[in-house]
Amino acid sequence: MTFNRQYSIVNSQLSILLAFLRRDILNEISYKLSFFLQLLAIFPVVLMFFFLSRLVGATISGPLEPYGGNYFPFVLIGIAVQNYLTLSLSRFSGSLRESQLSGTLEAVLVTPVRLPSFLIGSTAYSFVFNALRIFIYLAIGSLLFHVNFNWARLPAAIGVIGLTIAAFSCLGIFSASFIMLFKRGDPINWGFNVISWLLGGVYYPVNILPLWLQKVAYVIPMTHSLEALRLILLTDHRFSGLLDHLLVLGLWGAIGLPASLLCFRYALNRARIQGTLGHY
Amino acid sequence: MDSEKYAIQCVGLKKAFGNRPALQDIHFSVNEGNIFALVGPNGAGKTTLLKILASLIVPTGGEVFVCGHDVIRNPIQAKSKIGFVPSEERSFYWRLSGRQNLKFFASLHNIQGQERNRRVNAALEAVGLGDKGNIRFREYSSGMKQALGIARGILHDPPVLLLDEPTRSLSPDVAGKIRKLLNNKAKKEGKAILIASHNLKEVEELADRISIIHHGVIKALGSLSDIKTLAGLSPSADLHSLFKHFTHNH
């Protein structure tokens, strides 16, 4: 394939992604109140965890030592990322379900749009908007509650979030495959969310779990994403110490993404064979 | 290759949903510049056939080609040649305007920038929505929604148009305008058009060739006069009597 041809394909796929993004932005801002309420809802959550941190902070400062020893910044990163991943991941199946209900799924799939572009495009808005929410969580913590984040290392944190998206997207795509086949119910998303907030170190450090549960925790990407982000933003830990976490996230993405795409392709074909593509 | 001669070609097409056959041994072809109509009772298999051509349903057997592209093996290439107009109104984004909807679908066909604006305006104009493009889709009447579906079908100027009951909800004047548009698309621009319809008067007016389909089987295929000869009915018989002949006697 010539360079020009490759450039033209990449360019056209980017234009398609932008079209999905534009569509979802137009749709979201048409619900003006909801749009602002979503952002406003962050404040009471942060406030609640601020007071909670005053209650529990001192008692668990030992296990928090690797992350600077303070509970509030620790949990702030935890809830921001967990919120991000929950909302973004549910978008894969949610967007598919919405398009089945609204009847737009067939209208989109009858165009020559490629499967990866369709999947990424359908969720792009959610990933972008929810990334803004993470920033708002951290900004509120920093401006109103004087949390000292290592802002100079923000680009590294954005890199980790990028790897995290790749690692978690496969779970979202598996979940969308389930919706494509069975139309309702989403056990993959539900199960994974529960495991992530229970074992991923969202509210408490993984090192307080029993040893056998710690081993399970270090299999799931949430643990590695949070560990890496906390070490980057809350400490002066050297980047070389993050390699293990980045490697696990990278492996999840490298193996999980192609596998989930295959799974979605299979589910799509099953729906096309059964004639149930637009059913809900 | 034979398939390249035709805009649409179905060879021995079969489709079953579980044990229930929906289409059986369907053979037909549509040339460029021709309007081909599928008529049949509800549940005859018309929409299934259209959806197979649009690659939304995978057939159980047989082959389907659009402009020489195998719909099953090369769906992306085949889909780029198709404009599909479903019978359902709810295939748009309700909180977006008609124009915003069309711009989105134009982008999926890789039409960008000024060219996209030009095509969206032309498509809206063609279906009589030229001054209604900025109204939100949810505020459209049934007829306007259907007209927007047709606008979306012609937006990327495809060589093949597949339309499922294109004038069902339209007022007589708009329906007449759409029939004229489709006729021009076929006769002046050389598009191949396949229409599934219950409106037999419309089919008589538009179609070069007609297929009467019943229980997933083509009962008759050809021009109106061919079908009259096949049925052994008088030359004055209309499509309604032919329809009754082939669907009630079989």
Is A110 near chain B, with CB under 8 Å?
Answer: yes
Contact B100 A26 (CB under 8 A): yes
Alpha-carbon distance of A175 to A190, in angstroms, equals 9
**How large is the average pLDDT for residues A63-85?**
88
Residues in chain B with CB shorter than 8 Å from the CB of A274 are 17
How close B197 comes to chain A (CA, Å)?
Answer: 20
Q: Which amino acid is at A94?
A: G
B15-29 mean pLDDT: 93
pTM of the model: 0.89
Identify residue B165 by its one-letter amino acid code.
Answer: E
Going along chain B, which residue ranges are E strands?
A: 8-17, 20-30, 35-39, 61-66, 69-70, 82-85, 160-164, 192-196, 209-214, 217-222
Closest by Cβ to B91, choosing from A16, A27, A103: A103
Q: Indicate whether B233 and B120 sit together in one domain.
A: no
Q: Categorize the per-residue pLDDT at B2 as very low, low, confident or very high, splitting at 50, 70 and 90.
A: low
According to the model, what pLDDT value does residue B202 have?
Answer: 92
Q: Give the pLDDT mean for A52-60.
A: 75
Closest CA to A67 of A249, A237, A220: A237
What would the two tokens of residue B143 be? 């007829």
Over residues B10-15, the mean pLDDT reads: 96
Q: Do A111 and B57 touch (CB under 8 A)?
A: no
Are residues B194 and B211 part of one domain? yes
**Interface pTM, i.e. ipTM:** 0.91
The answer, for A8 touching chain B at a CB cutoff of 8 Å, is no
Residue B3: what pLDDT?
Answer: 62
- Each residue's pLDDT tens digit, B151-204: 999 999 999 999 999 888 788 888 998 999 999 999 999 999 999 999 999 999
Residues with Cβ within 8 Å of residue A30, at least 6 apart in sequence? B95, B96
DSSP state for residue A148 in the 8-state scheme: -
Whether residues B109 and A111 touch (CB distance < 8 A) is answered with yes
Cβ contact (<8 Å) for B76 and A112?
yes
Choosing from B113, B134, B157, the residue where a domain stops is: B157
Same domain, B13 and B53: yes
Q: Are residues B17 and B44 in the same domain?
A: yes
What is the arithmetic mean of pLDDT over A239-247?
Answer: 89
My answer on whether B187 and B66 are in the same domain is: yes
CA atoms within 13 A on the CB side of A23: 28
By CB atoms closer than 10 A (0-12, 13-18, 19+), residue A197 is middle
Task: Note whether B168 and B64 are same-domain residues.
Answer: yes
What is the chain A residue with the closest CA to B99?
Answer: A23
The span from the CA of A145 to the CA of A165, in Å, is 28
Q: Are residues B59 and B178 in the same domain?
A: yes
CA distance B64 to A276: 20
Distance, in angstroms, between B238 CA and closest chain A CA?
Answer: 34
Chain B contacts of A265, Cβ < 8 Å?
none
Same domain membership, residue B144 and residue B216: no
Domain's final residue, options B157, B178, B210: B157
Q: Torsion over CA of B92, B98, B102 and B103, rounded to 10 degrees?
A: -120
Closest alpha carbon within chain B to A277: B56
Q: What percent of chain A has pLDDT over 70?
A: 97
Placement of tokens 């748009």 in the chain: B92
For chain B, report the end-to-end CA distance as a whole number of angstroms. 35
CB pair distance less than 8 Å for A31 and B88? no
E runs forming strands in B134-199: 160-164, 192-196
Model confidence pLDDT, tens digit, residues A121-166: 988 888 888 888 888 999 999 999 999 999 999 999 999 988 988 8
Mark whether B4 and B102 lie in a shared domain.
Answer: no
DSSP letters, A103-145, are THHHHHHTSS--HHHHHHHHHHHHHHHHHHHHHHHHHHHHHHH
What number is the average pLDDT over the span A15-41?
A: 88
Which of the 8 DSSP states describes residue B178? Answer: H
Instruction: Indicate the average pLDDT of chain B.
Output: 92
| B130 and B113 housed in the same domain | yes
Rg (CA), chain A: 20
- Rounded Cα distance, A145 and A235, in Å: 18
Neighbours of A113 (CB within 10 A): 23
In this structure, what CATH number is given to the domain that contains residue B215?
3.40.50.300
Number of domains in chain B: 2
Instruction: Select from B109, B141, B157 the last residue of a domain.
Output: B157
My answer on whether B9 and B126 are in the same domain is no
Residue B4: predicted pLDDT: 66
Residue B178 shares a structural domain with residue B93: no
Give the model confidence (pLDDT) of B71-86 as tens digits: 999 999 999 999 999 9
Q: Among A10, A28, A98, A110, pick the best mutation site for testing chain B contact (most B Cβ within 10 A).
A: A110
- Which of B43, B35, B41, B46 has the alpha carbon at shortest distance from B13? B46
Across all residues in chain A, what is the average pLDDT? 87
Q: How confident is the model at residue A102 (pLDDT cuts 50, 70, 90)?
A: confident
pLDDT class for A185, splitting at 50, 70, 90? low
Residue of B nearest to A278 (CA): B56
Domain of B138? 86-157
